[in-house]
Amino acid sequence: MRVSYNWLKDYVDVDLTPQELSDRLTMAGLAVDAVDELGAEIEKVVTGRIRKIEKHPNADKLLVCTVDVGQGEPLQIVTGATNVREGHVVPVAIEGAKLAGGLQIKCSKLRGVESRGMLCSGQELGMETKLMSSDMAHGILILSEDVPVGLDAKEVLGLNDAVLELDLTPNRGDALSITGVARDVAAILKKELKMPSPQFTEGEEKIEDLAKIDIEDPDLCRRYVARVIKGIKIGPSPMWLQNRLRAAGIRPISNVVDITNYVMLELGQPLHAFDYDKLTNGHIIVRRAKEEEKIVSLDGAERTLNPDMLAITDESGPVAVAGVMGGLDSEVTGDTVNVLIESAYFHPINIRRTSKALGLRSESSMRFEKGIDINGSLRAADRAVQLIQQLAGGTVVAGAIDNFPSPITEKTIQLRPWRVNWVLGVDIPKEQIKDIMERLQFRVQEQGDDLLVTIPTFRPDITGEWDMVEEVARLYGFNQIPETLPFGASTQGIRTPEQQLTWNMRKVMTGCGFTEVITYSFVHPRIFDLMNLPQDSRFRNVVKLQNPLSEEQSVMRTVLVPSLLEVLQRNLNRRAQNGAIFEIARVFYPVEGQPLPEEVPVLAAVAIGNTPKTWNQPARPMDFFFMKGVAEQLIDSLGVVGAEFFRHQDPSFHPGRCAKIEINGQLLGVVGELHPNVIENYDLPARAVAMKLDLNVLNQANRPVKQYQGLPKFPMVERDLAVLVKQDVLAAEMLSIIKKAGGSLLREIDIFDLYQGAQVPEGYKSVAFSMKFQAPDRTLTDEVINDKMQRITSSLTAQTGAELRK
């Protein structure tokens, strides 16, 4: 919000400099980002009238102007501008003048002709071209013919002003107006607030005979005020009005349109002016738009509406998108003679959604989104009528149509002074608290030791006692609240089991050489094709966003691996040859009949290339066995028991290099090498491996409490066993058989050799196991060990067809 310092002084007597006022406002909660001193560099620029124009004798593209600046003899000035004419009043930089950018004007000769100054354009005076009317944006500034000569051009053009740029919090919609800011300034400085009081004369014709307003959807339009003015004359606005609009960052257009913008900036109530003669029978209907209903907005673009949007229509169709922008067919043009002024209250959430859906955000929609004063609609319409009558003439039709289906009463909230002091840690007397609230235009009644505060409708953000405590604090002064240490009972924070699980997983994954990443929860639907998923895959059942930022983020993810692959691909494109990343996040599955999706926490990891080489470890490929080892390390570190790996088929993974992980029959996750099609789809240069785990299953898994026991007193006996089995027999199956047959005496078992070669029959493999036996209460004899080895061998032979290798 840009606030003109000079404009602000119309409503409150400010005796501070702009910078001092900026500091006071910031300390009161209305943060001022910057103070822009307009025309600070400009000196000795005055208004002048061109009396005579002649061609330059030595240059075809130059003109010699005789300019009266009201300071003695007229000045001879050479210019190359083509838009100047005799009689024009223009800003003139006289000798010794300073312009924007530090340019200084001196007497000089141009192609042999003396020039004693310069005719100025808006850019040379530091004015923004985009904020100037079309006739002023190019060439020399042409001022109104009735502007006297010899005046300071800074005053005429409003450049003797300062603009405060406010950074408002979303709740302070009331401060999106000059009078709203003035209200706070008056409260801070303890000055009187002078609000505009509209006064105008009405004709004999009644508005009921000319217009009709119907609100079909009062839930979206709670009030609609209309006034009609006939016989106006469209033209440029006076300079003072244009200056104030430019200071606020709005480009002047014409007197009527500028007045609607002026009142919006002044009172915070967006207005719209319709060409009355373009409205069918003067009948305004406020309703939800029809499906695929279209309107050409003021910016010339065709907009497609839907029933979630509110439209302003006549009997022929839409004439405006409520609260966002008017329609081109009913706009005010140079031929307009009769206007209908709209001043309404629209539902903030609906306006925000409509504005976002259409990709169209305006000054009006911004104010409606934050909430305006519903009781200020008629006042704003009257203010606009007053200014139109003054600046555009015309006859005001008697009366106003005020369709207000459900008038709002101001709410009253109890404010307890002791509570204010307890929260703020100060001792403010009740009388001072009452004075602060009254300075903010709140009505206050005493009720014993408490106060009953009536909240005006221009402050919809005040909903309870806590909000009023904040108001007291910012007007009392945050800098006056003493610094204190926190007090009260302290408790030691601990993590929940789920949080601790996640914390431990992060430590394990980073310890295995992985880097954690964070990706968006919104993805593109094409990821399911890139991941090679069939059309009937359950992962294609997604939650679609109603208002996506783009097609790239239009659905909520049901799988996490694609997001990691995009990160991996981006890193590889930047010459990162190796990569191992993981993410712990949530995926989202729609639930039929439920408004919110099911959120499932998962861990996903992807890796490509080789592990880093260290002083004691060579680099090794990050292949299936690497990722399987990471999964085993993760599960073991978390103390989970009962996890088993089985061969698995997954469309996203290589058909022969993929395993599923189960715990007590529940699917924990999948680990393996990605399918070659997936590798190609993501343009990866080599094989990549991935892992995905369901953390709900992992959190529910059995994790026995660790128990400590004494060191063993009796020696451990080691035995090796090498067998020949068919190639399709799984090592995991053989390990399970050995553990069962070895019983409690078998403490450790490892596979230390896998061999296929000349000495092994075709279709077979040699697997060698290292086993360690130990008893807690005795030394094991050869007889006991041999018996265990015999049972293990017999079990392997019976269940897998294994033969002892000789």
Dist. CA 278–CA 334, nearest whole Å: 14
Using CB atoms within 10 A of its CB, is residue 780 exposed (0-12), middle (13-18) or buried (19+)? middle
On whether 467 is known to bind a ligand per the annotation, the reply is yes
The total number of residues shown for the chain amounts to 806
Number of helices followed by number of strands (H, E) in the chain: 20, 39
Please say whether the dihedral angle defined by the alpha carbons of residues 228, 232, 235 and 240, taken in this order, is positive or negative. Answer: negative
CB atoms within 10 A of CB 685: 11
Dist. CA 245–CA 261, nearest whole Å: 8
Please say whether the dihedral angle defined by the alpha carbons of residues 648, 651, 657 and 658, taken in this order, is positive or negative. Answer: negative
Q: Which residues contact 559 (CB under 8 A, 6 or more apart)?
A: 527, 528, 531, 539, 587, 692
Structure-token pair, residue 759 = 């000495």
Burial 614-633 (b: 16+ CB within 10 A, else e): eeeeeeebbbbebbbebbee
Dist. CA 397–CA 456, nearest whole Å: 30
CB atoms within 10 A of CB 641: 12
The answer to whether the CB of 739 falls within 8 A of the CB of 778 is no
Structure-token pair, residue 27 = 């300390």
Q: Which residues contact 376 (CB under 8 A, 6 or more apart)?
A: 267, 268, 269, 457, 458
On whether 728 is known to bind a ligand per the annotation, the reply is no
The answer to whether the CB of 387 falls within 8 A of the CB of 263 is yes
Q: Which residues contact 435 (CB under 8 A, 6 or more apart)?
A: none
Q: Which residues contact 733 (CB under 8 A, 6 or more apart)?
A: 799, 800
The answer to whether the CB of 250 falls within 8 A of the CB of 243 is no
User: What's at 389, amino acid-wise?
Assistant: Q
- Residue ranges for the binding site? 461, 467, 470-471
Q: Which residues are part of a known binding site for Mg(2+)?
A: 461, 467, 470-471
